[in-house]
Amino acid sequence: MADIFELPIKVLFQHCDPAGIVFYPRYFEMVNQTVEEWHELGLDYSFARMHSEDRRGVPTVSIGAEFSAPSRLGDVLTWRLELIRLGRTSAHLRVTALAGDELRMVATPVLVCLDMDSGRPVPWADGVRAAMSKYLAAQ
Amino acid sequence: MADIFELPIKVLFQHCDPAGIVFYPRYFEMVNQTVEEWHELGLDYSFARMHSEDRRGVPTVSIGAEFSAPSRLGDVLTWRLELIRLGRTSAHLRVTALAGDELRMVATPVLVCLDMDSGRPVPWADGVRAAMSKYLAAQ
Amino acid sequence: MADIFELPIKVLFQHCDPAGIVFYPRYFEMVNQTVEEWHELGLDYSFARMHSEDRRGVPTVSIGAEFSAPSRLGDVLTWRLELIRLGRTSAHLRVTALAGDELRMVATPVLVCLDMDSGRPVPWADGVRAAMSKYLAAQ
Amino acid sequence: MADIFELPIKVLFQHCDPAGIVFYPRYFEMVNQTVEEWHELGLDYSFARMHSEDRRGVPTVSIGAEFSAPSRLGDVLTWRLELIRLGRTSAHLRVTALAGDELRMVATPVLVCLDMDSGRPVPWADGVRAAMSKYLAAQ
C-alpha cells in the first residue's frame, strides 16, 4: 500500500480575497508548501539541504487544478499528496485539499529534478527515488 | 478577426524565488491581473464595479498551466489573453506570457460568472457577453 | 506576570527572495499571522467570528520594524507577542521573531478595533479587553 | 530642488483582503516595487544588474509606516519616493502613497548597500551615490 503524505494548513486572513474566500494563487502556495514539507518530513530531504548543499531544485513544469468548493477564513484544510508517476527526472503528483470530507481542490503538479548550475534536468538521486517510491499510488 | 488583449508586466524582485526565477504561484497572480485588466480595459467593466455595484464575481473554477521557460528579475513579459469558448455562465481563456518571441508560460483558466449573494452561477450580462465575444478566437 | 503568546512559523521557499533570505513583506504576513493566531488561540476570539459574526476588524494603523539578522529557508522562527498598551479602541503590540536565541526582527504594530459597517473605531468588547489584558506587559 | 520619483500602481484584486481594502503586507510589496523602479528608472541601475553583475543588494534594515486611510480595489495610487538622508552605506527614504490628494500611507525604509558574497555593508558605488543625491530632500 502506498503512503499518503498529509499536512494541515489553516486558511488565514492573508489567503482570502475581497469575496472572503481563498484567492486561488494562494492555493498554489499551499500546494508548494505541501510539496516542500513532503520533502522535509516525508522524504527526509529538506529544501534547504537540496538547494544549498546539493544545488538541486524541483521546479514545477506544469500543473492542472480544479477548485471544487470555496474555502473560507479559519477553515483547516487537510492537504494530501500522492505520487502518480515517477520518471527518471520527473515526478507526477496529485495534491488534494479537503475540509473534513469535502473536497476543496485537486492539483496535479509535475516536478522536474534540476541541476541549478547547468539549469538541466538530472536523474533523481537514488536515496530520493527510493524515498519517493513509497508514495507511489497503485495504478 | 478576434481581438487579443495584451498587458506588459515586469518581473519584480517580489516575484522571484531563491533560484532567481519567478515563483510559479506569482505567475498565477499575473494571470489574474491579466484577466482583471482585460475586464477593465478590454471589456470596460472594472472588477471594482463588478464586485461593488453588481455583486458579481468571476472565480476561476479550473486552470491548467505549462511553464516552458523560466523568467528572471527584470524581464518584461507580454501577457496575451484570448477567449477560447464562451458559455452561458462560463468563459474558457488562454493566457500566454511571452518575453520577446520566447514563450514562458501558457495558462487556460475557466471563469464562472457568480452571483456573490447566492453563491450561484448566473448568465453573463448581455453587455459583458457582447464585449467578451470580440475576443473569441476562431476555432 | 503577563502572558506572552508564542507561535512557531517555518521559513518556506515562498517566503524567500533571490538573495535566499526572507523578503520583508513576507515577515509582515507572519506578524499578521501571529496577531491572528493570538486572537484565536490566546484570546479565544477567531478572526472568522470577529469578521463574520461581529462585523469587526482590527486593521493595523501603524507599524515599525527592525530587521536585525536575515532568516533563511528552513529556519523555524518563534514569534512572540506582547501587549504594550491597551487603549479604549486600540492595542499597541510588540511582536518579535527569534531563531533559537538570535533576534531576527521586532515589529510594533498598532491595531484599532473597527466597526466594519461604519468604518469607525469602537471600544473593545469587554470580553476581548479582559482576555487581552492578560498579555499586558509590565511597564 | 530635489527630484522626487513617482510611480503609479493600481490596487488589484490580489492586494485586497476580506474587508475589501489593501492588506498591509501588500503595501510593503508596493513600497519595495517603488524602491526597485526608482533604481531602474530614477538611478539607471536596475535590480537585475545590481544583483547579477555586481553581487550587491539593498536589504531594508528598518521601516516605519502609518496607514492614514484605506485603499480599495481599482484605486490608482501615486507612490512618491524622496531621499531623506544618504549615509556611507545606507539610505533613509520616505515613500508616500497618494490617491489624488488624499494620503493613504507613508513609509520610511532604511536601506543598506550589501555585498552579497560577504554579507557585509559596503559603501555606495560613486555613480549610484551621485544618482541618488539628486533625490536628496532639503532638510
| D125 CB-contact burial (10 Å; exposed 0-12 / middle 13-18 / buried 19+) | middle
- Residue in chain D nearest B14 by alpha carbon: D29
C-alpha cell at B90: 462560463
Across the interface, of D24, D62, D64, the residue whose CB is closest to C67 is D62
Tell which phi-psi region holds residue C86, choosing left (phi > 0), alpha (psi between -120 and 50) or beta: beta
C-alpha cell at C96: 518579535
> What Å distances lie between residue B24 and A38, A59, A63, B73, CA to CA?
18, 9, 10, 14
Cβ–Cβ below 8 Å for D18 and A14: no
| pLDDT computed for residue D1 by the predictor | 73
Q: Band of the pLDDT at D90, cuts 50, 70, 90? A: very high
SS3 label, residue D59: coil
pLDDT at D139 over 70: no
| pLDDT computed for residue B139 by the predictor | 60
| pLDDT computed for residue B19 by the predictor | 86
* Cα angle for residues C80, C83, C88 (degrees, 5° grid): 150
- Chain A CB contacts of B116 under 8 Å are 19
pLDDT at C139 over 80: no
Distance from CA of D13 to the nearest CA of A (A): 7
- Chain D CB contacts of B73 under 8 Å are 47-48, 51-52
Distance from CA of C122 to the nearest CA of A (A): 21
| pLDDT computed for residue B67 by the predictor | 98
| A88 CB-contact burial (10 Å; exposed 0-12 / middle 13-18 / buried 19+) | exposed
Give CA B7 to chain center in angstroms.
10
- Chain A CB contacts of D23 under 8 Å are 13-14
pLDDT at C22 over 80: yes
- Chain D CB contacts of A20 under 8 Å are 18
Give CA D21 to chain center in angstroms.
21
Domain ranges of chain A: 5-133
Torsional sign, CA B89, B92, B98, B104: positive
Cβ–Cβ below 8 Å for B73 and C14: no
**Residue B50: phi, psi to the nearest 5?**
-55, -50
Distance from CA of B85 to the nearest CA of A (A): 18
- Chain B CB contacts of D74 under 8 Å are 40, 46-48
How far is Cα D111 from Cα D109, in angstroms, rounded to an integer? Answer: 6
Which chains are adjacent to chain B, needing at least 3 Cβ pairs under 8 Å? A, C, D
Across the interface, of C13, C18, C20, the residue whose CB is closest to B13 is C18
Distance from CA of B3 to the nearest CA of C (A): 36
CB C93 within 8 Å of CB C35: yes
- Residue in chain A nearest B26 by alpha carbon: A25
Q: What is the pLDDT of residues B57-116, one digit of tens each?
A: 999 999 999 999 999 999 999 999 999 999 999 999 999 999 999 999 999 999 999 999
Q: What is the pLDDT of residues D38-51, one digit of tens each?
A: 999 999 999 999 99
Across the interface, of A13, A46, A52, the residue whose CB is closest to C32 is A13
pLDDT at D66 over 70: yes
- List chain A pLDDT tens, one digit each, 139 residues: 789 999 999 999 999 999 889 999 999 999 999 999 999 999 999 999 999 899 999 999 999 999 999 999 999 999 999 999 999 999 999 999 999 999 999 999 999 999 999 999 999 999 999 999 999 987 6
In the block, residue with C-alpha cell 483582503: D17
Mean of pLDDT values over C39-55? 95
**Residue C33: phi, psi to the nearest 5?**
-65, -40
CB A93 within 8 Å of CB A109: yes
How far is Cα D11 from Cα D34, in angstroms, rounded to an integer? Answer: 14
- Chain B CB contacts of D47 under 8 Å are 13, 73-74
What CATH class does C5-133 carry?
alpha beta
| pLDDT computed for residue D2 by the predictor | 86
- Chain C CB contacts of A29 under 8 Å are 14
Q: Which parts of A37-125 are beta strand (E)?
A: 56-57, 60-67, 76-86, 90-99, 102-107, 110-112, 114-115, 120-121
Across the interface, of B32, B57, B61, the residue whose CB is closest to A67 is B61
- Chain C CB contacts of D32 under 8 Å are 23-25
- Residue in chain C nearest B14 by alpha carbon: C17
For chain D, positions 41-100, list CB contacts with chain C under 8 A. Answer: 51, 57, 59-67, 70
B32 in D contact zone (CB under 8 Å): yes
Cβ–Cβ below 8 Å for C52 and A40: no
List A16's β-bridge partners, or say none.
Answer: A22
Cβ–Cβ below 8 Å for A20 and D18: yes
